[in-house]
Copies of this chain bind each other. A is one copy, B any other.
Amino acid sequence: MSAVEERLRIGEVARRLGVTTRTIRYYEEIGLLGSPGGEREAGRHRTYGDAEVERLRDALRLKSLLGLSLEELGELLEAEDARAARRDEWQHADPDPARRRVILDEARVYVERQLELVRRRREEIDSLESELIERRERIDACLDELA
């Protein structure tokens, strides 16, 4: 299909995602990422493919925007991986409609759960933004009065 996938080393991945290499190694250390590029002999360089980089990008975004602990993040990622596993199963075989329906329903529940978290956060942000805008308008009204 595509050319041989270019694999990145940890420094380049860190640079692209805006974190340090230590962060990535720590996540691997606590089992959040699996081991990059399959098994690796001790001392050898870690390498990352596009899918691994994207997964890490998603993870960092969820953590930052939702303010999750790494344990909570881990739970979300497990669900995400289960979903990915289902999708593989989906593509490779099993055209049984009933089975397909189950897979889709599970994926939907997962997405819906994330949406719920994101939506709650957005509402908090929205209300903070409204308050600040209101404050600014009061200041502007005072300024108008002075003029």
A residues adjacent to B (C-beta < 8 A):
61-62, 64-65, 67, 97, 100-101, 104-105, 107-108, 111-112, 114-115, 118-119, 121-122, 124-126, 128-129, 132-133, 135-136, 139-140, 142-143, 146
User: What are 5 residue pairs bridging A and B, where the CB atoms are less than 8 Å apart in the complex?
Assistant: A61-B124, A111-B139, A115-B129, A118-B125, A125-B125
**B contact residues around A143 at 8 Å (CB):** 101, 104-105, 108
A67-B64, A104-B142, A128-B65 known; A136 vs B111 contact (CB < 8 Å) = yes
Establish whether residues B146 and A100, one from each chain, have CB atoms under 8 Å apart when the complex forms. yes
Q: Please provide the 6 A-B residue pairs with the shortest distance between their CB atoms, ordered closest to farther.
A: A115-B132, A122-B125, A111-B136, A108-B139, A118-B129, A111-B135
Residue of B nearest to A142 (CB): B104
**B contact residues around A107 at 8 Å (CB):** 139
Bound complex: CA A87 to CA B126 (Å): 26
Among B67, B100, B114, B118, contact of A67 (Cβ-Cβ < 8 Å): B67
Establish whether residues A132 and B111, one from each chain, have CB atoms under 8 Å apart when the complex forms. yes
Further pairs besides A67-B67, A108-B136, A121-B125: 9, Cβ < 8 Å: A61-B128, A65-B124, A65-B125, A101-B146, A104-B142, A108-B143, A111-B139, A115-B136, A122-B125
